[in-house]
């Protein structure tokens, strides 16, 4: 069974309000020509040319030789999602420590934690979504592999971190109309325990009753594909805001719960269903024998790598070295690649984050 790409045919939104499209207006930063732009540090030392991908973000250079400790990189260990886990984080840390260009750039901007002035690199895992958000709010990380929903939920430091890269897994897509942003899509699906797993296509009214009565299996409350946009889709297309959830911990475990009959209906990213289940768990079983897609959600930007504003590659030699080193490491057979990104890609997600807040208030869809 081949699942249809976004957007699938659907009825008009019950609320009359369309979901925000991923493509968003440019941030209010004066655009410069898309070409290599030279600059100099505050010390007067000439810098290498700034890559064209950061030219439009050109800003006054940050003061050189600030007083820093080690370079601190944060991440959320999510091995079941195929992302950065502890073994891969250790490999990344070792590769970065051996990158002489990166080390020299860090020392030049004051990163050091030893008497000989050598720059250290520390990669630390957070204890969960909230812990990562809290540590970012306290500026404990210089760089972070950050879930997209955590990035747009930052309040006190939202303008102090900027996106420079995005994850790209095998089933993600690129949107050239949106500036090349990398997108992921969620679906709401039924398994063998659901009365709508087989038979005729259920009507909208029938699905409304189903979504109001059934517990929805999801990865976590911070998952854009499996919680965030499914809730917006249920509210928009069916006028329903479910309040019963089972948090499975990952998209792969969400699929396992539904396929095994532990749950009737679930939501997760489309790539997990096609890749983890169809290609690995049950490669000889047709997909339509395991799940039935009930609704497609709007695509959304994948998780970014964010960096402190003063280290943005447009103004910082260390930032450019960090950007280059990360792209190089993840181009060598890691679980995912990293593609260029920017804050504009997440503006639509940030707006939709506010819409989700409204669903939790009294008087929202039920």
Q: Give the per-residue pLDDT at 209.
A: 87
When mean pLDDT is compared over 22-36, 197-211, 212-226, the highest value belongs to 212-226
| pLDDT value at residue 68 | 72
Q: Quote the mean pLDDT of the chain.
A: 80
- Per-residue model confidence (pLDDT) at position 200: 79
Mean pLDDT confidence for 222-240: 92
pLDDT tens figures, 88-109: 999 999 999 999 999 999 999 9
φ/ψ of residue 301, rounded to 5: -65, 145
Cα 357 from Cα 223, distance rounded (Å)? 15
> Whole-angstrom Cα distance, residue 297 to residue 229?
6
Q: Is the pLDDT of residue 123 over 90?
A: yes
What CATH topology corresponds to 52-169+302-354? D-Maltodextrin-Binding Protein; domain 2 (3.40.190)
DSSP state letters, 61-115: PPPSS--B-SEEEEE---GGGTS--HHHHHHHHHHHHT-HHHHHHHHHTTB--ST
- Flag the least confident range among 262-266, 319-323, 333-337: 333-337
Instruction: Give the residue with greater pLDDT, 278 vs 194.
Output: 194
Alpha helices in 182-316 (DSSP H): 204-213, 229-238, 251-259, 270-272
Each domain of the chain, given as residue ranges in start order, spans 52-169+302-354, 183-300
Q: Which strand ranges, in their side-by-side order, compose the sheet holding 216-218?
A: 245-247, 216-218, 265-269, 186-190, 292-296
| Lowest-pLDDT choice from 89-93, 108-112, 130-134 | 108-112
Alpha-carbon distances, residue 122 vs 46, 54, 92, 221 (angstroms): 29, 26, 10, 28
Higher pLDDT, 23 or 133: 133
Given a cut of 80, is residue 225 above it in pLDDT?
yes
Residues constituting the chain = 366
* DSSP 8-state secondary structure symbol assigned to residue 213: H
DSSP state of 46: B
The arithmetic mean of pLDDT across residues 319-331, rounded, is 96
Q: Which has more pLDDT, 221 or 32?
A: 221
Instruction: Tell me: pLDDT of 14 over 50.
Output: no
In this prediction, residue 54 carries a pLDDT of: 62
Q: Mean pLDDT check: name the lowest of 33-42, 90-99, 244-253.
A: 33-42
Which of 63, 26, 96 has its CA nearest to residue 305? 96
Assign a CATH topology to domain 183-300: D-Maltodextrin-Binding Protein; domain 2 (3.40.190)
What are 303's two structure tokens? 């998780």
Q: What is the DSSP letter of 226?
A: I
Residue 178 has pLDDT above 90, yes or no: no
Pairwise pLDDT comparison (55 vs 260), residue with the higher score:
260
Domain 52-169+302-354 and domain 183-300 have a common topology: yes
Q: What is the pTM of this model?
A: 0.78
Cis peptide before 11 (omega within 30 of 0): no
């Amino acid at each position: 069974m081949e699942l249809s790409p976004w957007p699938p045919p659907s009825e008009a939104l019950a609320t009359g309000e369309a979901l925000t499209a991923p493509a968003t207006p440019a941030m209010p930063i004066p655009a410069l020509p898309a070409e290599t732009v030279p600059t100099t540090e505050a010390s007067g030392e000439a810098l290498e040319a700034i890559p064209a991908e950061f030219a439009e973000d050109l800003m006054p250079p940050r003061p050189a030789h600030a007083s820093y400790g080690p370079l601190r990189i944060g991440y959320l260990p999510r091995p079941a999602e195929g992302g950065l886990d502890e073994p891969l984080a250790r490999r990344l840390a070792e590769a970065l420590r051996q990158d002489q260009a990166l080390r020299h750039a860090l020392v030049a901007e004051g990163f050091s934690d030893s008497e000989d002035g050598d720059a250290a690199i520390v990669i630390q895992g957070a204890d969960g979504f909230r812990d990562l958000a809290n540590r970012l709010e306290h500026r404990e990380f210089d760089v972070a592999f950050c879930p997209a929903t955590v990035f747009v939920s930052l309040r006190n430091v939202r303008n102090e971190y900027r996106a420079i890269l995005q994850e790209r897994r095998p089933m993600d897509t690129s949107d050239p109309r949106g500036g090349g942003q990398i997108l992921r899509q969620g679906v709401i699906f039924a398994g063998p325990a659901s009365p709508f797993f087989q038979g005729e296509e259920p009507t909208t009214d029938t699905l409304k009753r189903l979504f109001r009565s059934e517990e929805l299996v999801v990865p976590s409350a911070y998952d854009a594909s499996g919680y965030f946009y499914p809730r917006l889709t249920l509210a928009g297309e069916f006028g329903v805001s479910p309040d019963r959830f089972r948090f499975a911990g990952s998209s792969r475990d969400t699929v396992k719960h539904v396929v095994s009959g532990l749950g009737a209906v679930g939501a997760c990213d489309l790539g997990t269903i096609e890749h983890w289940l169809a290609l690995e768990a049950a490669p000889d079983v047709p997909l339509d024998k395991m799940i039935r897609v009930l609704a497609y959600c709007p695509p959304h930007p994948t998780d970014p790598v964010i960096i402190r504003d003063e280290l943005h590659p447009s103004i910082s030699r260390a930032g450019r070295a960090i950007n280059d080193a990360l792209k190089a490491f993840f181009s060598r057979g890691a679980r995912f690649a990293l593609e260029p990104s920017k804050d504009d890609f997440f503006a639509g997600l940030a707006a939709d984050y506010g819409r989700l807040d409204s669903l939790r208030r009294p008087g929202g869809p039920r």
